[in-house]
Homo-oligomer: A and B are copies of this chain.
Amino acid sequence: MVDNATYILTATCLSRLGTVDVITHFLYQQGCYIKDMHSFDDTACQQFFLRAAFCHDKGDAIDVEAFKSQLNERAKPFNMVWQLHEPDHIPKVLIMVSKYDHCLNDLLYRYRTGHLNIEIPAIISNHPDLKGLAEWHQIPYYHFPITAETKPQQEAKVWEVIQQTQAELVVLARYMQVLSSAMCDKLNGWAINIHHSLLPGFKGAKPYHQAFAKGVKLVGATAHYVSNALDEGPIITQGVETVDHTHYPAELAEKGKDIECLTLARAVKYHCENRVFLHHNKTVVFPD
């Protein structure tokens, strides 16, 4: 069964007897072998979450339409929200940047070497600086400058590219612009931002300057879904680095780059491997 194509099924609903069985008994009846499965019941809000990686026992391809319609019937009485992720589906990830290139460089490296199994249909920036990097990777680069006055128009252009490219995830790789409330709403649950502090500490601008002023001995980075409340979106993953008195804001920023890259890349990977559930401003993450 090792090399058979792997499907991912994710599901969530209110806690109730039989939630696991709805999925697992169905998969058994369909001749599907479960390679890896994780379920969790959040007793604080009575919500159930499940992720199963499976393949067809005979190595056959699955009749996806039939599978979906039958599972739909089974899951309906549970008001279960579920998704089937097919093995040959490669998620389209649109990246937005400003002038900082460390996160972009890292994501592009993981993309071009297959570590991140994604497509990148477009890179959008409010500055022209990173065009060369995009071009070397043969990815279209859209330079959409922005001012306070032109923000609505600029965001309209961004949205147009998102739609044209059929992007499934938007990654703000140090984009440095606050999205409008309307834009945040449209991207709810499918846009990831990297913030360079251990949120909720040091929200807002210049977190490394804030960290320096406080004399903290650890700095970090937080990857979270974008939400209307600035730097308050549901946290996906966080990373940390020790620092000391020799680190002025510039040194903190320099030292923080590595952890920003690693944290953002991990969040993108988790999202694209369907390991993240969003629920009430928090996440459930089944890591690898």
- Please determine whether B41 and A34 come into contact, CB atoms closer than 8 angstroms: yes
Q: Closest B-chain residue to A29, C-beta based?
A: B21
For A257, give the chain B residue with the smallest CB separation: B115
Residues of B within 8 A of A106 (CB): 109
Residues 65 to 114 of chain A near chain B (Cβ within 8 Å): 101-102, 105-106, 109, 113
Is B17 in contact with A215, judged by CB distance below 8 angstroms? no
Q: Is A246 an interface residue (CB 8 A)?
A: yes
A-B pairs with lowest CB-CB distance, top 5: A215-B282, A201-B201, A21-B28, A2-B43, A24-B24
The answer to whether residues A35 and B41 also contact, given A24-B24, A237-B217, A244-B285 and a CB cut-off of 8 A, is yes
B201 touches A17 (CB 8 A): no
Cβ–Cβ contact A218 & B216, under 8 A: no
Instruction: Give Cα distance in the complex from A27 to B244, angstroms.
Output: 26
A202 to B201, alpha carbons, bound, how many Å? 8
Q: How many A residues, CB 8 Å from partner?
A: 68
13 A-B pairs in the complex with CB atoms less than 8 angstroms apart: A16-B33, A17-B57, A20-B24, A21-B25, A21-B28, A25-B25, A33-B41, A38-B39, A106-B109, A198-B216, A215-B282, A217-B237, A218-B238
8 A Cβ contacts from A239-288 to B: 240, 244-246, 248, 254, 257-258, 262, 281-285, 287-288
Asked if A160 is at the interface (CB within 8 A of a chain B CB), the reply is no
Cβ proximity bits A32-47 to B, threshold 8 Å, 1 near / 0 not: 1111111111111000
**Which chain B residues lie closer than 8 Å to A202 at the CB level?**
200
Q: Evaluate contact between B20 and A37: CB separation under 8 angstroms.
A: yes
CB within 8 Å for A199 and B215 given contacts A34-B41, A35-B43: no
Roughly how many angstroms separate A240 CA and B240 CA in the complex, as a whole number? 8
Is A31 in contact with chain B by the CB < 8 A criterion? yes
Checking B25, B113, B198, B218 against A102 with a beta-carbon cut-off of 8 angstroms, the contacting residue is B113
Nearest-neighbour CB distance to chain B for A223, whole angstroms, equals 9
Residues of B within 8 A of A282 (CB): 214-215, 245
Q: Are A105 and B109 in contact (CB under 8 A)?
A: yes
